[in-house]
Amino acid sequence: MAVLETHDIGKRYGRRNWALRHVDLEVPDGSITAIVGPNGSGKSTLLKAWVGFERPTEGYLTVDGIDPWKDRGGAIERIGYVPQAPSLYRELTVDEHVAMARTLRPRFDPSIARHRLDDLDIPLDARADELSGGQQAQVGLALALGVRAPVLLLDEPLASLDPLARREFLHVLVDAVRADGSTALLSSHVITDIEQACDRLLVLGAGRTLLDLSIAGAIAEHRVVDAADVDAVAPPPGKVVGSFPGPAGEKLSLVRGDESVGGRPATLEEVVLGHLAAARRPRSTVASGGLAA
């Protein structure tokens, strides 16, 4: 069952700038799904649309069956959200943020938030502007977990964190989601974080869904061949997803298929890079559309 769904949604800014177009996707209940894509691919727009911050220009989306634009309150009650910037009130202490969350959200459980902050040694009496970026992100996550919502939406919360802070953040996230049985959708650029924390991968590019698979499935279904060898390997038509530069500058191609297409197994990063590279080409030359599980 899908707890987050979009139905042919599009979001246009101005008269012709489409951030999202014809996006159909489902996020299964209980999963931790990573949403990946280049800047401007519509990740944040999509997450904000679920929170009711952005209204789709076309199509509709739902949170646990509720359209946020028809019943924003109902949708928000099912969501915990961590925005891209922590957005804390610099005048307030951490504990006052917890108190504020309780006044705004009837189901908010302050003890959950305080317990998580205590575990991370984040002082409750510290003002928000005295905290490091990592601590602010953790406060944002603690508030999101404190609402005890079935869905967690995290909009690049790791972007400004150092590696240790990112690791701690993801550790808290995964523990909480697994313990509560909730569903999380994590937007991120950092592939290693995704492999560590997520079980599904959703790649957005050029405003549309490029890939929607389990992490294991995404790795298993792709191989990487040296672009120079593609002709020699001669994969079946439509199997080459896209080409991208390798670590040494060599040109690699991501190919859809099993061992029979040659090459070597793809890493998750290569899967993402291949699909993002494909999205950069004019749409008519993309080998095939999105791949959905």
Q: Could you list the residues that contact other proteins (CB under 8 A)?
A: 48, 51, 53-54, 72-74, 76-77, 79, 81, 83, 85-92, 96-97, 99-106, 108, 140, 143, 147
Closer CB to other proteins, residue 153 or residue 240?
153
CB of 139 to other proteins, least distance (A): 10
Closer CB to other proteins, residue 127 or residue 167?
127
Pairing between β-strand 208-214 and β-strand 79-82 as defined by DSSP bridges: unpaired
9, 61 Cβ separation under 8 angstroms: yes
Closer CB to other proteins, residue 22 or residue 72?
72
Closer CB to other proteins, residue 57 or residue 267?
57
CB of 76 to other proteins, least distance (A): 5
CB of 83 to other proteins, least distance (A): 4
Distance CA 169, CA 141 (A): 8
Pairing between β-strand 240-245 and β-strand 208-214 as defined by DSSP bridges: unpaired
CB of 181 to other proteins, least distance (A): 21
CA neighbor of 163 nearest in space, from 143, 141, 198, 133: 133
CB of 75 to other proteins, least distance (A): 9
Distance CA 131, CA 260 (A): 53
Distance CA 42, CA 25 (A): 13
Closer CB to other proteins, residue 147 or residue 277?
147
Q: Which residues pair with 60 in a beta bridge?
A: 7
Distance CA 101, CA 161 (A): 24
Indicate the Cα dihedral angle 48, 168, 26, 285, nearest 10°.
90
